[in-house]
Chain A
Amino acid sequence: DIQMTQSPSSLSASVGDRVTITCRASQGISNYLAWYQQKPGRVPNLLIYGASTVQSGVPSRFSGSGFGTDFTLTISSLQPEDVATYYCQKYNSAPFTFGPGTKVDIK
């Protein structure tokens, strides 16, 4: 099965900083990659699918890129409400594995 990894596992950044989270698949998955945000105590929320398509209603500071094995989620200007854990998920074929998550805090 394809393994999903994320880096870093956690990060602390200042408000207004550009934040980049990386997700890597152990084999190519084309662009079948989704990103989710889970705020503390809340249900996860879809941010991006198809590696780069931003879900309706998601702030424009969120963007995604990548193809094959390497993907990134970028927050162009970190805001206090972005404190959350971010997960990637592959969905090209089962198993639809999630990455281990990246916890983002404000410095």
Chain B
Amino acid sequence: EVQLVESGGDLAQPGGSLRLSCAASGFTFNSYAMNWVRQAPGKGLEWVASVSGSGGTTYYAVSVKGRFTISRDNSKNTLFLQMNGLRVEDTASYYCTKGGAGWYTKHWGQGTLVTVSS
């Protein structure tokens, strides 16, 4: 059974940093692209970033490019999202997701809440 467990969500000040982690199990981690998707309270889904199975290819939404960094440690089956320069508008639940046979999402974690406020 695929399991994705996020951690690291917290209250941060504008301009601050957080590092999200996602522990993955139940599948061959390095064979699948992984993604971060966020959802602000009461709003729709927003794709944030993706990384290929090897970690060699990354993609970012314009809204986070230059501030967030997606990475993975295939030896530890863990996905990361380093979030710097946080803004109030980054407040959201952040979901770790596993790709399918393509860059869509086949499995979702339960999410971790990031709140950016002074």
Binding site for B on A (CB under 8 A): 1, 32, 34, 36, 38, 43-46, 49-50, 55, 85, 87, 89, 91, 94-101
Q: Name which of B45, B60, B101, B104 has the most chain A CB atoms within 10 A of its CB.
A: B104
Q: Is residue B106 within 8 Å, beta carbon to beta carbon, of the partner chain?
A: yes
Residue from the list B35, B45, B108 in contact with A87, Cβ < 8 A:
B45
A71 to chain B, nearest CB (A): 13
Chain B residues touching A, majority SS: strand
A91 to chain B, nearest CB (A): 4
**Which residues on B sit within 8 Å (CB–CB) of A1?**
62
Partner of B62, one of A95, A100, A101: A95
Complex contacts, A100 vs chain B, CB 8 Å? 44
Beta-carbon contact of A95 and B47 below 8 Å: yes
Residue pair A98, B45 in contact (C-beta under 8 Å)? yes
Are A89 and B44 in contact (CB-based, < 8 A)?
no
> A91 contacts B104, CB within 8 Å?
yes
Bound form: Cα–Cα A89–B105 in Å: 9
Establish whether residues B50 and A36, one from each chain, have CB atoms under 8 Å apart when the complex forms: no
Cross-chain contact A96 with B106 (CB below 8 angstroms):
no
Residue contacts A-B, CB under 8 angstroms, 25 given:
A32-B104, A34-B104, A36-B105, A43-B95, A44-B95, A44-B105, A44-B108, A45-B108, A49-B100, A49-B106, A50-B102, A85-B44, A89-B45, A89-B47, A89-B104, A91-B104, A94-B103, A95-B47, A95-B59, A95-B61, A95-B62, A98-B44, A98-B47, A99-B44, A101-B45
